[in-house]
Amino acid sequence: MQTAAGIREKLSVWGNDYPTEDGTAVRDYIYVVDLAKAHVKALQKLINSTEKTQIDIYNLGTGKGSSVLEVVHAFESANNVKVPYQICERRAGDITIAYANADKAEKELGWKSETSLEEALRTTWQWQKYLETREK
């Protein structure tokens, strides 16, 4: 986002030699509003619960993994903006692939992620542009 906005010169992509389709690491990218809705659902469940103490743990995510370069290209095509990037060394400690299984949240909270990566990236870019107008 900051690279597209010109705040940073280039995005550093940390590693393209992972055993994934394009060599970059894979993560589960969720839209912040979907994440917030899951928290509301969890609070509603807590409020409606008759139990004195209730502790539940939920994985929240889209269930879909996207590589760093997939996200970069999705951002570019969703917003018609170029994101200059450079391939750098792997970041120490990074794992190859991580994505969530949110089945429990769907079953028990009636929640699942609804927003596509493209739509999330479009909205997020609009937010960035809005911030720029406020700074001027």
Ligand X SMILES: O=c1ccn([C@@H]2O[C@H](COP(=O)(O)OP(=O)(O)O[C@H]3O[C@H](CO)[C@@H](O)[C@H](O)[C@H]3O)[C@@H](O)[C@H]2O)c(=O)[nH]1
Which residues form the interface with ligand X (CB under 6 A)? 11-14, 25, 27, 68, 91, 94, 98
Query: What separation, in Å, do the N-terminal and C-terminal C-alpha atoms of the chain show?
Result: 18
Q: Which is nearer to ligand X, 94 or 132 (CB)?
A: 94
**Contact partners, residue 131, CB within 8 Å, separation at least 6:** none
CA distance readout (Å), 81 to 2, 33, 121, 128: 12, 23, 11, 13
Q: Which is nearer to ligand X, 1 or 45 (CB)?
A: 1
CB of residue 119 vs ligand X: minimum separation in angstroms? Answer: 20
CB of residue 87 vs ligand X: minimum separation in angstroms? Answer: 9
CB of residue 71 vs ligand X: minimum separation in angstroms? Answer: 8
Q: Which is nearer to ligand X, 45 or 76 (CB)?
A: 76
CB of residue 51 vs ligand X: minimum separation in angstroms? Answer: 29
Q: For residue 87, what is the enclosing H or E element?
A: strand 85-88
Q: Which is nearer to ligand X, 22 or 118 (CB)?
A: 22
Paired sense of beta strands 85-88 and 11-14, if any:
parallel
Q: How far is CA 126 from the centre of its chain?
A: 16
